[in-house]
Amino acid sequence: MGSTSEQHGQEGLGRRDLIKRSAAIGLISVPTMGFLSACATGGGGDEKDNKNGGGKTTEKNPLGVKKGAPLEAFIFKGGLGDQYAKDAEADYKKTYGAAVKHTGTQQVGPKLTPRFAGGNPPDVIDNSGADHLDMNKLSSQGQLQDLNVLLDAGSLDDPKKKVRELIHPATLEKGKHDDAFDVLYYAFTIYGTWYSKKLLDDKGWEYPKTLDEMVKLCGDIKKAGIAPWTYPGKYPYYVHFNLFAQIAKIGGMDKWIAIDNLEDGAWTDNDAVKQVVEFYEELAAKKYFLEGSQGLTHIQSQTKWNQNKAVFLPNGSWVENESAPTTPEGYQMSVGELFDGGSGDAMPHGSLRAEPSEPFIVPKGGKNPVGGMELLRIMLSKKHAQNFAKKVKSLTCVQGATEGMTLSPGLDSASKVFEAAGENLISIQLQEWYPALTDEKLGGLTGQLLTGDIKAAEWIKKAQAECDKVKKDDSIKKFKRSS
């Protein structure tokens, strides 16, 4: 509503992104995260945040945007496209009589790395996709605008209500680097197991409630001549959307937070890790994945899924928009909640991974950072939150913005499981804080697990070792969460 969502590129490019997302795992020719981290920045930003753009501060212009001040926006053009941003930019242009330069791209990092180094970044960036900028590095170097200025401004719909009052609390938490709120995750993504309700209904199958029921159903599906699962084997970290959350559901958020915090033995001393990774080992051993999945991109796996060559797909709620070109009419795209591991699960049935995605940042070094924040304020209006839902079939971080709207099948399903989950929501920081670890290192291990090249015990041992390496690497900034 996204992974971001992390979000994703077109054919041949994966999510980051991680979130997005969401770096790719080295199977495509892109700069490595290490390269982007090393040369994305050219030193610290301004000592003071930009709090006024030189214009008169009024109720309608709380940030003080200067009339006629040009704006430059760099928007990731992947699974969500970029028209929603263009629509908001048009309102900025109309309101302030200013020229807006828009760039829609899948190459955010490569195109903006030299600009940050040169001290001339754009005013606002949707930093998603496989080739994203290293936000942790940018934040630690003081190059990102603290968006508390935006949060404390009056909202577009009701100037008496601050922007922060309209945003989902998880968004306010996820966008922090230490004490600064410098990343606005605009979308809200539902991650899970996606399927065609029509296919299940036609075959008389029910979406499973437990891991054991899923294994049993996979046997019935295979007997019917259909592959139970597919996944984008070129970017196997997509499987982490489910795998990580399933561990948290069974073992509890406290134990998952230990993993996020790179604590000693967080993987090897967690029974839920063993249960979930062994579940995927069993799926692989019984050949419950579509043959050839290991060579598919995310687009190709979604196409196979749309063609009913496989029943289940691990993904985020951007998938409805991204796979629209190949989704047949009446497909009834749906998403299911996480599976129960047993009676001892730490979280109840109906628990769900749902969290902010699609990260927007405002560089301090841009020519018009206040204009960049104003564009975000426009995007956070009900008008543009609903426009986003209509155009890309995803929710934003604006609470209740889609009430009364007629939703597409996938978005309607995602909204229902989100509502049913209540407070039983799971958020994962590991992929946001350490994308090279999760997407390249752990993703590579997951790829081997799903092809049967390694067993669960080896996956767990090596995953712990990779996390330990990151923990001991002083060149990597560490983050810590308490909840």
- Written as one string, the DSSP assignment of 290-344 is -TTGGG--HHHHHHHHHTTSEEEEEEETTHHHHTGGGPPTT--EEEEPPPB--TT
Whether 339 has a pLDDT exceeding 70, the answer reads yes
Distance CA 46, CA 99 (A): 25
Confidence of residue 52 (pLDDT cuts 50, 70, 90): low
Task: Pick the range with the lowest mean pLDDT from 130-134, 292-296, 388-392.
Answer: 130-134
Contacts of residue 263, Cβ cutoff 8 Å, sequence gap at least 6: none
SS3 462: helix
pLDDT of residue 130: 78
* pLDDT single digits (tens) 149-202: 999 999 999 999 999 999 999 899 889 988 899 999 999 999 999 999 999 999
pLDDT of residue 207: 98
pLDDT of residue 78: 87
Average pLDDT over residues 315-343: 96
Confidence of residue 462 (pLDDT cuts 50, 70, 90): very high
Distance (Å) of CA 254 to CA 259, 294, 422, 466:
9, 33, 18, 21
Q: Which two tokens stand for residue 165?
A: 């009052």
Distance (Å) of CA 155 to CA 61, 84, 85, 378, 398:
10, 19, 18, 8, 11
Predicted TM-score (pTM) of this structure: 0.80
Whether 90 has a pLDDT exceeding 90, the answer reads yes
Distance (Å) of CA 319 to CA 54, 77, 243, 356:
41, 14, 18, 16
Please name which of 122, 154, 165 lies closest in space to residue 57, comparing C-alpha atoms. Answer: 154
CATH number, domain 33-189+355-406, options 3.40.50.1000, 3.40.50.12780, 3.40.50.720, 3.40.190.10: 3.40.190.10
Between strands 184-196 and 310-316, the pairing is antiparallel
Whether 315 has a pLDDT exceeding 50, the answer reads yes
pLDDT of residue 249: 98
Confidence of residue 482 (pLDDT cuts 50, 70, 90): confident
Cβ proximity of 69 and 368 under 8 Å: yes
* pLDDT single digits (tens) 227-242: 999 999 999 999 999 9
Distance (Å) of CA 38 to CA 109, 117, 244, 470:
12, 10, 28, 16
Whether 276 has a pLDDT exceeding 50, the answer reads yes
The pLDDT > 70 percentage for the chain reads 89
* DSSP class of 436: I
Whether 23 has a pLDDT exceeding 50, the answer reads no
Distance CA 331, CA 409 (A): 9
* pLDDT single digits (tens) 296-310: 999 999 999 999 999
Domain parsing of the chain, residue ranges = 33-189+355-406
**CB atoms near residue 97 (< 10 Å):** 10
Residue appearing with tokens 């999510």: 15
Confidence of residue 51 (pLDDT cuts 50, 70, 90): low
